[in-house]
């Protein structure tokens, strides 16, 4: 009897340890922002679920998930581009889930289209606008107040842009294609290329700095790069920001293009319930404020506002009109966009 009690106790301890070991979320993240650390720690404090994080970029995460297959330890995937999320969905890397909380707070156009069984593979968690920064001493706002005007001959030799094949630009081009059609988008891409001040290079911050330095007069950038300069403790960054103005394009038509940072449950998640809890937490008002403000973005969840001073200054503390097409459309249009870029010789 004594031996039986010891055996039972040992089994109970082993079972308890196994249950405790399962209280984790293995996260593959393309977000590399220090402020996210506090966000993750808050989740662990609230739930007891530990987060094990692997950092990479979107492409690296996709490659790793494909290489690992069913042996992948990943539970949650965070990416920073809608087209890459769409590609991961089509490559069958994500697990469709049903979550009343996520479906209630994340707008339908900022998440994947439902599967046949109603499951959804990914959800947007924060948004960033693809805006136009310009030299306010040389360019009139009305000459750059739409994406279409970037191809206008009056802007010849004025535009700086990072590589056309970068995901942020590919997503913008995919959105423009959705709005104006492939034929007009082809002409537009050719016009933008013809208006470049120099060959594409660098990142979005480099484009803003090039405008401030007089290397070009117009730049295409994600909103948070400009916000970072505005909020920087480095006087040189603030000086750069003060030399440019910003336009949220297409306010009189279909609205400014939004990209997203978003999350999905990995296809072979071993901790699915914890993974869903984590995504639901990231969509909560508290986390949305943290998640978005940490990288100068806007919350994706409904009825959550930001008090970010740089974003308020950019928009003059007023709502701006954003496009309402399904964000998944930019992914659908990627094959067309790649072909159009090849035809235009726009790299």
Binding residue numbers? 32, 224-225
Asked if the domains 23-126+258-306 and 129-257+321-344 are classified in one and the same CATH topology, the answer is: yes
The pLDDT value recorded for residue 9 is: 36
Residue 34 pLDDT class (50, 70, 90 cuts): confident
Q: What is the pLDDT of residues 65-74, one digit of tens each?
A: 999 999 999 9
Residue 22 pLDDT class (50, 70, 90 cuts): low
Choose the CATH number for 129-257+321-344 among 3.30.70.20, 1.10.357.10, 3.40.190.10, 3.30.413.10. Answer: 3.40.190.10
The pLDDT value recorded for residue 10 is: 38
User: Of residues 307 and 135, which shows the higher confidence score?
Assistant: 135
Q: List the CATH code of the domain at 23-126+258-306.
A: 3.40.190.10
Backbone φ and ψ for 281, nearest 5 degrees, come out as -65, -40
Q: Indicate whether 165 pLDDT > 70.
A: yes
Instruction: State pTM to two decimals.
Output: 0.89
Binding residue numbers for Fe cation? 32, 224-225
Q: What is the pLDDT of residues 249-284, one digit of tens each?
A: 999 999 999 999 999 999 999 999 999 999 999 999
Please report, for the chain, the start and end positions of each structural domain, with discontinuous segments joined by +.
23-126+258-306, 129-257+321-344
Q: Indicate whether 208 pLDDT > 50.
A: yes
Residue 197 tokens read as 């001040």
User: What is the average per-residue pLDDT within 184-192?
Assistant: 98
DSSP single-letter state for residue 260 = E
Q: Indicate whether 328 pLDDT > 70.
A: yes
Cβ burial of 51 (10 Å; 0-12, 13-18, 19+) is buried
Q: Which residues lie closer than 8 Å to 203 by C-beta, 6 or more apart?
A: 162, 225
């Amino acid at each position: 009897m004594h031996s039986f009690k010891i055996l039972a106790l040992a089994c109970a301890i082993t079972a308890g340890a196994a249950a405790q070991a399962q209280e984790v979320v293995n996260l593959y993240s393309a977000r590399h922002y220090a402020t996210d650390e506090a966000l993750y720690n808050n989740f662990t404090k609230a739930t007891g679920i530990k987060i094990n994080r692997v950092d990479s970029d979107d492409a690296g995460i996709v490659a790793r998930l494909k290489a690992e297959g069913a042996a992948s330890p990943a539970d949650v995937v965070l990416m920073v581009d809608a087209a890459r999320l769409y590609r991961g969905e089509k490559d069958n890397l994500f697990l469709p889930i049903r979550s009343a909380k996520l479906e209630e707070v994340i707008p339908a156009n900022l998440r994947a289209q439902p599967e046949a069984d109603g499951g959804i593979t990914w959800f947007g968690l924060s948004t960033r606008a693809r805006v136009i920064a310009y030299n306010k001493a040389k360019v009139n706002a009305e000459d750059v107040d739409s994406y279409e005007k970037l191809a206008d001959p009056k802007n010849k030799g004025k535009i700086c842009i990072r590589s056309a094949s970068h995901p942020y630009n590919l997503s913008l081009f995919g959105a423009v294609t959705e709005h104006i059609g492939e034929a007009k988008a082809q002409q537009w891409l050719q016009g933008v290329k013809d208006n470049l001040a120099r060959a594409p290079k660098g990142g979005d911050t480099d484009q803003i700095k090039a405008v401030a330095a007089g290397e070009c007069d117009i730049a295409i950038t994600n909103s948070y790069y400009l916000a970072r300069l505005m909020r920087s403790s480095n006087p040189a960054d603030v000086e750069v920001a003060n030399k440019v103005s910003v336009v949220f394009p297409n306010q009189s038509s279909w609205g400014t293009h939004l990209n997203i940072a978003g999350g999905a449950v990995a296809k072979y998640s071993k901790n699915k319930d914890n993974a869903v809890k984590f995504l639901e937490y990231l969509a909560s008002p508290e986390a949305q404020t943290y998640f978005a403000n940490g990288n100068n973005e806007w919350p994706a969840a409904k009825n959550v506002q930001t008090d970010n001073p740089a974003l308020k200054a950019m928009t003059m503390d007023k709502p701006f009109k954003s496009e309402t097409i399904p964000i998944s459309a930019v992914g659908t249009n990627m094959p067309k966009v790649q072909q159009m870029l090849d035809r235009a010789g726009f790299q």
